[in-house]
Amino acid sequence: MDKNMNRRDFIKAGGMSTLAVTLGSTGLFTLGGKQTAFAKSSIASTAGYGPLVKDPGGILDLPKGFQYRIISEEGGKLSDGRPIPAMFDGMAAFPGKQNSTVLIRNHELSGNTSYPVEGKNPYNKNETGGTTALVVGPNRELEDEYITSAGTIRNCAGGATPWGTWLTCEETLNRGHGYVFEVDPDDPEGNISKTPIRDMGAFSHEATATDPETGIVYLTEDSSPSFFYRFIPNDRSQKVGALQKGGTLQAAALEESSSTSAGNFDSGQNFSIVWKDVDPEKPSDDAIAKDCIQFSRLEGAYFAGGVFWFDDTSAGDKNLGRVYRYIPATNTLELFYESTDSNDLEMPDNICITPWGDLWIAEDGGGVDRIVGLTPEGEAYTFAENRLNNSELAGPTFSTNGQTFFVNIQSPGITFAIWGPFARKNSGRQRQMGHAAPPAAYAPQVDDKLVEFAERKGMSTLEAAAFHRHGMPIL
């Protein structure tokens, strides 16, 4: 696609189907038994699932062949009659009984609100944030919806653990808050859900992701400046409650550089990093004092294929956002992508790796927000666009069978189940995404020394660059 073309202008010829709407190959949609023609774009995308077509309901545009069902809305009723809380945010999917999917969903609430999390066993009875669970059957119908934790502040994002729990993060600096809590969907509002993991730090948390090989938890901070942390648990058994046994909190610093600002990074450039212990009661202050890397404002996080992905929502020369990846095996940090055009990507927030290996990003740009995909080949595409309002999309996650995509509109809170001709699971492509070169427009220049090395070793410059990027010395 021409990089100068306005992506949003041509994508807006898109479409989708609601619960009662199905798109077919005829260029017609069915609504209430009637068929109506819709406009089709003549421009085909080379990545993703093609151009979007307009949602007749005016809510969510999707590519042809996909459809959605609204499974939850704020202000409705939970299964026990309590109100469905507002401000839907981060989310993860877990396998449930009889081929169901269990979603754990954050509610970014603080202070007075019309639809608080009304918990029966809250951490702080005066606070309105928390988490809920949704049990979705294999037919994508909602079977149950209930509160899983309560009494917290601004539950923004978090992350799933390999042992089947959700780490919900408080994005606040309020005294007595700013912690990570573990939520067990099988023990809703249990005591563990109101036990802060204090050694994970008291700061304005955003997201977490756990390395299943080591049990180390990586964390992002939504503040300015913000820091990239990791938590090394004392108990690495990867069981419910093990994180509450404490551990060591560390922040990332550059190994061989006097600079502490990530703003000096170039796309495709990689850095060896060192980890410095920080005081969990004042980690941000400690990270500044110890010259750790300062980011603009970190947001989403995801671990897949041996790689930890995270984004910086307002970083870059045009403040449109950056995507980073950290590779624990080589202890290297790399700027993978920087947006230079709001039509490509604007203010990345929650992220996930799809079952087939693409990186999907929810935007929080304050305008028309989308789900944007990046492929291992470096192409960007749009999968979904919020047509309802200017509220952010949040909580992108896939069912464990890879056949249903779940996502939220934050306000008014709406949770969608989306399905259609998704690509099959592909763990190899997930690993490819983790080790792919950055998109060509953002890739580093290959110097003469690397070209000479490649020729001498009988490999392509891309192969040599890949080896060099992941720690192989170029002699």
Q: Return the pLDDT at 18.
A: 31
Q: Is residue 33 part of a domain?
A: no
* In a domain? residue 41: no
Q: Is residue 43's pLDDT more than 50?
A: no
The pLDDT tens digits for 239-264 are 999 999 999 999 999 987 667 888 87
Cβ atoms < 10 Å from Cβ of 364: 22
Both 467 and 366 in one domain: the answer is no
pLDDT tens for 324-381 read 999 999 999 999 999 999 999 999 999 999 999 999 999 998 789 999 999 988 788 9
- Statement to judge: residues 192 and 66 lie in one domain: yes
**Tokens at 316, concatenated:** 């870059």
Q: Are 249 and 201 in contact (CB under 8 A)?
A: yes
Kindly state whether residue 62 falls inside one of the protein's structural domains: yes
Determine, yes or no, domain membership for 389. yes
List pLDDT tens digits, range 148-160. Answer: 999 999 999 999 9
Q: Does residue 327 fall inside a structural domain? A: yes
SS3 call for 457: helix
**Domain of residue 309, CATH code:** 2.120.10.30
* 216/396 Cα distance (integer angstroms): 23
Q: Is 271 helix (H, G, I), strand (E, B) or coil?
A: strand
Host domain of residue 458: 440-474
Percent of the chain having pLDDT more than 90?
A: 73
Mean pLDDT of the chain: 86
Q: Are residues 426 and 449 in the same domain?
A: no
Is residue 384 located within the same domain as residue 456?
no
> 279 and 367 share a domain?
yes
Stretch 89-99: mean pLDDT, rounded? 97
CB 85 within 8 A of CB 132: yes
417 and 464 co-located in one domain:
no
Among positive and negative, which fits the CA dihedral 338, 340, 342, 343?
negative
Q: Which of 101-105, 173-177, 419-423, 434-438 has the least mean pLDDT?
A: 434-438
**Which of 236, 354, 366 has its CA nearest to residue 313?**
366
pLDDT at site 109: 98
In a domain, 43, yes or no: no
Are residues 255 and 131 part of one domain? yes
Structural domain count, the chain = 2
**Which has more confidence, 448 or 55?**
55
Mean pLDDT score, 214-231: 97
Give φ, ψ of 366 to 5 degrees.
80, 10
170-220 pLDDT, tens digit per residue, is 999 999 999 999 999 999 999 999 999 999 999 999 999 999 999 999 999
Under DSSP, is residue 247 helix (H, G, I), strand (E, B) or coil? strand
Identify whether the C-beta of residue 371 lies closer than 8 Å to the C-beta of residue 362: yes
- 97 with 169, same domain: the answer is yes
Domain match, 362 and 470 both: no
State whether 277 and 376 are in the same domain: yes
Is 93 a member of any domain?
A: yes
Whether 59 is covered by a domain: the verdict is yes
Same domain, 244 and 192: yes
- pLDDT in the model for residue 445: 61
460 and 356 inside one domain: no
Record the pTM.
0.85
